[in-house]
Amino acid sequence: MQDRELYAAIPGIRTPRRVGRVELRLAQGEAHVHLEHEAGLEWPCPECRKPCALYDHQPERRWRHLDTCQYKTILPAEPPRGNCADHGARVVQLPWAEPNSRFTALFEGIAIEWLKVASQKAVAGQLRLSWDEVHAIQQRAVARGLARRKEENLEHLGVDEQSFTRGHRYFTLVNDLDRGRVLLVAENRTGESLDAFWSRLPEAQVQSVRAIAVDMWEPTSIPHAATCQQPNPRSSSTSSTSPNTSPKPPAGSAAENTNS
């Protein structure tokens, strides 16, 4: 197997794309796998998927792929732009990476697996990345997960705040207690920290909430956290609140306070 065939197989480069040449840069500790494509092709518009003639190419970009032994593997390529009759010139969607990412999907997948067991700082050190690069990989993974999330009933929720670093700095967590997953991580521990969560839920999900477990910190107690409205409230114990607090627990829910 020749080097071009090898490096086409490793990142999964398939027709109409191909490996033009492989360049080993020993001094930099990098293997550059230059990608190109066949001539005379039509490209699907990323907006409407209609086939389009080639318009031009963007300047060369580079993507970090999984390492080849001790060498970083870099994929340089000039992304083609298709000429769509409806949307104009658009950069073709590349199969090995997301738009605006400089890492292949396989590389980002490895980074996410590491992030499950180590901090962003530790992963950055092991993969020879900056903290910002690792954080961006994590943000893209979260966005993909949220895009795949289905609209399901959220019958039992947990609201809690956690401190981080030194001093009184907190973030607010909302958990799906039935499925054991995090639904929201928001800055601070105020009633406003939960606004983004309730506002983005479809009405059917809001109405599906039956019980919310919160601690006794007043801004995130039930009168603040449970803003969903249902008839016939069946709340159990709630913390004391001032006259200026938010509405009562969601009607039709069994509101539960728990000390954390």
Contact 56, 89 (CB under 8 A): yes
Q: Which two tokens stand for residue 45?
A: 């518009």
pLDDT of residue 34: 95
Domain residue spans of the chain: 1-96, 97-148, 156-257
Q: Encode pLDDT of 181-216 as tens digits.
A: 888 787 777 777 777 788 888 888 888 888 888 875
DSSP conformation class of 168: S
What three-state secondary structure class fits 207? helix
Distance CA 103, CA 91 (A): 17
Distance CA 33, CA 35 (A): 6
Distance CA 212, CA 253 (A): 8
Contact 171, 185 (CB under 8 A): yes
Contact 72, 31 (CB under 8 A): yes
Q: Which two tokens stand for residue 54?
A: 């080639």
pLDDT of residue 9: 82
pLDDT of residue 1: 55
Q: Which two tokens stand for residue 176?
A: 């799906």
Q: Encode pLDDT of 212-232 as tens digits.
A: 888 756 555 544 444 444 443
Q: Encode pLDDT of 56-101 as tens digits.
A: 999 999 999 999 999 999 999 999 999 999 999 999 999 999 988 9
Distance CA 128, CA 29 (A): 12
Give me the mean pLDDT over the 138-165 stretch: 84
Beta strands in 188-243 (DSSP E): 211-214
Contact 199, 243 (CB under 8 A): no
Distance CA 180, CA 33 (A): 42
Q: Which two tokens stand for residue 214?
A: 């919160």
Contact 95, 106 (CB under 8 A): no
Tally the C-alpha atoms within 13 A of residue 233's C-alpha that lie toward its C-beta: 18
DSSP one-letter string for 50-71: -EEEEEEEPPPEEEEEEEETTE
The verdict on whether omega for the bond into residue 231 sits within 30 degrees of 0, i.e. cis, is no
Which residues are paired to 89 by β-bridges?
A: 83
Q: Encode pLDDT of 9-67 as tens digits.
A: 877 888 889 999 999 999 999 999 999 999 889 999 999 999 999 999 999 999 999 99
Question: For a pLDDT cut of 90, what percent of the chain falls above it?
Answer: 45
Task: Indicate the length of the chain as a whole number.
Answer: 260
Distance CA 145, CA 152 (A): 14
